[in-house]
Amino acid sequence: MRIIFGDTLVRLGGRNNDIVVLTADVAKPTNTNKFAETYPDRFLNVGISEQDMVGIAAGLALSGKVPVVAVFASFLMRAWEQIRNTVARADLNVKMVGTHAGLTSADDGSSHQALEDVAVMRVIPRMTVVVPGDRQEIAEATEAIVEHRGPAYLRLGRDEEPKLFEGENVFKLGRAVTVRDGYDVAVFSNGAVTSEVLAAASRSKVSTKVVHVPTVKPLDRDAIVAAARATGVVVCAEEHSVIGGLGGAIAEVLSTEYPVYIRRIGTEDVFGESGSHSDLLRKHGLTADHIGAVLEEVQRRRAHCS
């Protein structure tokens, strides 16, 4: 995920001389070092000072540049006050990229695992929030947020290699995509978790509609309501807290537009912990096996209610 992001930035930098990339002493881990090597006069490493990084980006935006700040998602949250007050309130054209999000920075433990970032970013007015799921979608989403006018947050994992889409034009800002059709249960997911959902659906006897939702804000309300109407029961899965993320956003929509039973899969009201990424995914129920068990459970509930 980080590699395709870095490569895309270099390509976009060749097309737009106004793009400036900033990081907080993590150029190599975020793969922005490639941009630094290619366009050294348009790259800034501010050191471990995320608040300053966002403030400088705001100034660059006011000067007509297109600043892209890239840092670990957990540490970008250190600059939330600057993101809210300096960038979003003024509707500045700053692009924020949080890498190593969710549980993907597993070995580094709780301090590095961003499980709340989607929630705290999507609550900010004017903020666009995007969580792509595979390499092709990351490339297109990176281009889309750079071209989009206004503040945006792009959330990336660390080393996942899922493949969800074939061809091009797989991403459109604000659009959810049905990647598997079904009639018993609708599952909404994003990021690399969608690959686990698809694996669960392919093994399950439950007819599962899988809707990939890379744009958490603005949400594709029509697609969400249509999927809920088609199935009557909903599951949301994400590598994020169940509080305030994709599942929360979908619950907000359906509570007023089409109330149905919703089961949310993600981390509960906890911080992260050290361990392998695969072990942590299993612990929090974000593997295909556990998601498949949830599909069976909610299908039984659906049958009982009907």
Give the CATH number, domain containing residue 229: 3.40.50.920
In a domain, 169, yes or no: no
The total of structural domains in the chain comes to: 2
Average pLDDT, the chain: 95
Q: pLDDT tens, 220-235?
A: 999 999 999 999 999 9
For the domain that residue 133 is a member of, what is the CATH number?
3.40.50.970
One domain, residues 193 and 294: yes
pTM check: above 0.85: yes
* Chain segment 36-91, per-residue pLDDT in tens: 999 999 999 999 999 999 999 999 999 999 999 999 999 999 999 999 999 999 99
Same domain, 151 and 186: no
User: Is 140 in the same domain as 15?
Assistant: yes
Q: What is the mean pLDDT of residues 171-175?
A: 97
Range of the domain at 70: 2-155
Clarify whether residues 14 and 141 are in a common domain.
yes
Is the Cα dihedral 102, 107, 111, 112 positive or negative? negative
- What one-letter code names the amino acid at 294? V
What local confidence, expressed as pLDDT, does residue 300 receive? 83
Residue 163 lies in a domain: no
Q: Is the dihedral of CA 292, 295, 297, 303 positive or negative?
A: negative
Residue 216 lies in a domain: yes
Q: Quickly state the pLDDT bin for 305 (edges 50, 70, 90).
A: low
Q: Distance (Å, rounded) from C-alpha 250 to C-alpha 264?
A: 10
- Residue 290 placed within a domain: yes
119 shares a domain with 15: yes
- Write out the chain in H/E/C secondary structure: CHHHHHHHHHHHHHHCCCEEEEECCCHHHHCCHHHHHHCHHHEEECCCCHHHHHHHHHHHHHCCCEEEEEEEHHHHHHHHHHHHHHHHCCCCCCEEEEECECCCCHHHCHHHCECCHHHHHHCCCCCEEECCCCHHHHHHHHHHHHHCCCCEEEECCCCCCCCCCCCCCCCCCCCCEEEECCCCEEEEECCCHHHHHHHHHHHCCCCEEEEECCEEECCCHHHHHHHHHHHCEEEEEEEEECCCCHHHHHHHHHHHHCCCEEEEEEECCCCCCCCCHHHHHHHCCCCHHHHHHHHHHHHHHHHHHC
| Same domain assignment for residues 183 and 217 | yes
- For residues 98 and 186, membership in a common domain is answered with no
Strand partners, 67: 20
289 lies in the same domain as 254: yes
**For a pLDDT cut of 90, what percent of the chain falls above it?**
92
Residue 268 lies in a domain: yes
165 belongs to a structural domain: no
* Same domain membership, residue 150 and residue 193: no
Task: Please report which confidence band the pLDDT of residue 1 belongs to, taking 50, 70 and 90 as the band edges.
Answer: confident
232 with 145, same domain: the answer is no
List pLDDT tens digits, range 103-162.
999 988 999 999 999 999 999 999 999 999 999 999 999 999 999 999 999 999 988 778
Q: How many CA atoms lie within 13 A of 233 on its CB side?
A: 21
What percent of the chain stands above pLDDT 70?
99
192 and 110 part of one domain: no
On whether residue 266 sits in a domain, the answer given is yes
pLDDT of 306 strictly over 60: no
Domain final position from 123, 155, 187 = 155
pLDDT at 133: 93
Whether 172 maps to a domain, the answer reads no
pLDDT in tens, 233-249: 999 999 999 999 999 99
20 forms beta bridges with 67
Verify that 143 and 226 share a domain, yes or no.
no
